[in-house]
Structures are given as structure tokens and as C-alpha cells.
Chains A and B, each alone.
Chain A
Amino acid sequence: MYPIVAPIIKIDQARCTTPFACKLCLQACPTAVFGVFETKMIRLEETDKHEPGNYRLRVIYRDRCSACNRCVDVCPEHALTVEMPAGVRA
């Protein structure tokens, strides 16, 4: 293994409000970099995936991101940006 600097993925949480219902980026990513998690667990009740804020999209495996930008292309809310860190030439 030799050091590789990975791209920086930014999620605009104000735009990405129902990621579990949308799931486009989660299923488009070739290396499955993203994760989606419920923000609360309620006894005897299932979380409503259509209610904004009930699920949150997160970048889990950033080291596996190649900045192919497929997630950026599929996002209907334009909530994602993927860029190489400053000073790293693409």
C-alpha cells in the first residue's frame, strides 16, 4: 500500500433530506462509498423515509472514492460535490 490522497466529498445536508427514499447516489457509486442511517430509532415504530431529516447520508469509505462523479451526476438535488483536495493535481 502506498499513500494516495482521496477526493473530498461534500454533502449539502440542507438539500439532501430524504436519502433513504431517493437512494440514487448510494446505488450509483461503483465502490459503495456512501452510507445511509436513520437519525432516530423509535420503539414500536418504523422511521418514515419520506419525512425530511429522518435519514442522513454519510461518506463512510472515502478512501475508495475515485472522483468518477457518478454520484454528482445522478443527484436530483445537486447536493453533492466531489473534488480533489487543494494542492493535489487531478
Chain B
Amino acid sequence: MTPTRARVAFPKDWTFDLAEDLIDGIRDEFDPDDAVGELAPRVAGKPVDEAEEAALQFFTDYGRRWMDRTLELGEKYTDRAYETLKKAAERTGELAFPFIPERFIEIAYLATQPIYSLPIAENTVNTFSYKMVFCDTITALREQCGDELADRLPCRAGCLTAAGRAFTSKGFDVVVSQDSRLSDGEFCQFTVRRKHA
């Protein structure tokens, strides 16, 4: 009746947290203040429609580079939780969506925004949704480019691009939408839905 099994001991150096070099590396390159500092001269003095257009373009590019670098460094600096996730995804054939892309989205925001954890609104079989309550990007936009541009939230292009890219790069066909805007309410919410063939 009593099963026998060898006692388990795992390597002592296993880490389940994100590597500091990973976080620091992304933070150095994609600091929201610096990014907006780069954008500010390009939109200075422009009518707001034109400025928004330029900012959207800028943030689309920023979001793409930001997520690409996160994907690259995130794979380089792995951790035990990610390894377990990959094994579980392989075993079950299911868990890759949404959890593998979720990992990279979490890393991207943890590295660049003033948060200690990313508030996840939903991570289920076809949907991934998260919130940004405290955002340094919009604060920097207000300071450096003025309220008029900041109220139009051109930085959404960065988040939408990055979120979509995290999923498409892992082979998922998705639609990304924004359900709530920090400029209008309390937080931005982005939702990634899986497209079904």
C-alpha cells in the first residue's frame, strides 16, 4: 500500500525569478523617459494631428524593437519557471498559449515600467488580457510633449505592437485590442485574442 519513491532534491542554484541582467539590459535600452526624449524633438511645434501621426509611427517601431529585444534576451536568460512551462506545454500540447508569450510581455513591462508585477486580467484558453495602471511613458509624454498629445495616447501603438509581436513570434495568430485607455480612465487594458482558423 505504501509506494516507495526516491527522495527528491533539486539543484540548489535553480532560480525561479527573472535574471537581473535580463531586466537591466532591457531597461537600459528601452527606458520610457529616454524613448520619449527621442520622440519629443520630432513632434515639437507640430499640429497635434501631425504630431500624433509621427508619434504613432515612432511607438510602433519602439514596440517592435522593445519586444524583439525582450524575446531575444528572455530566451538567453531563462529561469526554472520558464523551463517548467516549456516542458508542461510540450507535454500537454496546450499551455503555450497564453503562458509563453505572457512571460515575455511580463518581462517587457517589469523591465521598463514602475511596477513589481503586471496585473493580469485574464489568461485563459483563448484570451490574454492585462492592465497598466502606472505608466511612465504617458507621464513622460505629458512632461516632454504636452497634455494635448499625451491625451491622444499615441504610446498605445507601442503596447499594441509589442503584445501582438510576443504572440505572433511564438506562432500564434491573434488580434490585439485596447479595451480601456489610461488617458480616459484609471488604466490601459490590452487584450490578445486567439484567431481561430
Contact pick for A44, options B2, B7, B14, CB 8 Å: B14
Residues of B within 8 A of A21 (CB): 2
Q: In whole Å, how far is B16's beta carbon from the nearest beta carbon of chain A?
A: 10
Residues of B within 8 A of A56 (CB): none
Number of A-B contacts (CB under 8 A): 14
Chain A residue at minimal CB-CB distance from B10: A44
Q: Are A46 and B2 in contact (CB under 8 A)?
A: no
Contact digits for A1-26, partner B, Cβ 8 Å, 1 yes 0 no: 00000000000000000000101000
Check A73 for interface membership: any CB of B closer than 8 A.
no
Residues of A within 8 A of B2 (CB): 21, 23
Q: In whole Å, how far is A83's beta carbon from the nearest beta carbon of chain B?
A: 30
Check B91 for interface membership: any CB of A closer than 8 A.
no
Residues of B within 8 A of A44 (CB): 9-12, 14
Q: Is the interface of B mostly helix, strand, loop or mixed?
A: loop
Chain B residue at minimal CB-CB distance from A49: B7
Contact digits for A31-74, partner B, Cβ 8 Å, 1 yes 0 no: 00000000000001110100000000000000000000000000
Residues of B within 8 A of A45 (CB): 8-10
Q: Which of B1-38 contact A (CB under 8 A)?
A: 2, 7-12, 14
CA distance A21 to B12 in the complex (A): 26
CA distance A48 to B8 in the complex (A): 9
Residues of A within 8 A of B10 (CB): 44-45
CA distance A23 to B3 in the complex (A): 13
CA distance A50 to B95 in the complex (A): 37
Residues of B within 8 A of A23 (CB): 2
Q: In whole Å, how far is A48's beta carbon from the nearest beta carbon of chain B?
A: 6
Chain B residue at minimal CB-CB distance from A50: B7
Residue of A23, A44, A46 with most chain B CB atoms under a 10 A cut-off:
A44
CA distance A21 to B5 in the complex (A): 12
CA distance A46 to B6 in the complex (A): 10
CA distance A58 to B143 in the complex (A): 63
Can you list 11 pairs linking A and B with CB atoms under 8 Å apart? A21-B2, A23-B2, A44-B9, A44-B11, A44-B14, A45-B8, A45-B9, A45-B10, A46-B7, A46-B8, A46-B9
**Contact surface of A with B, Cβ cutoff 8 Å:** 21, 23, 44-46, 48
Which 10 pairs show the lowest CB-CB distances between chains A and B? Answer: A44-B10, A46-B8, A45-B9, A46-B7, A48-B7, A44-B12, A44-B14, A44-B9, A46-B9, A44-B11
If A45-B10, A46-B8 are given as contacts, then 12 extra A-B residue pairs at C-beta distance below 8 Å, sorted by A number, are A21-B2, A23-B2, A44-B9, A44-B10, A44-B11, A44-B12, A44-B14, A45-B8, A45-B9, A46-B7, A46-B9, A48-B7
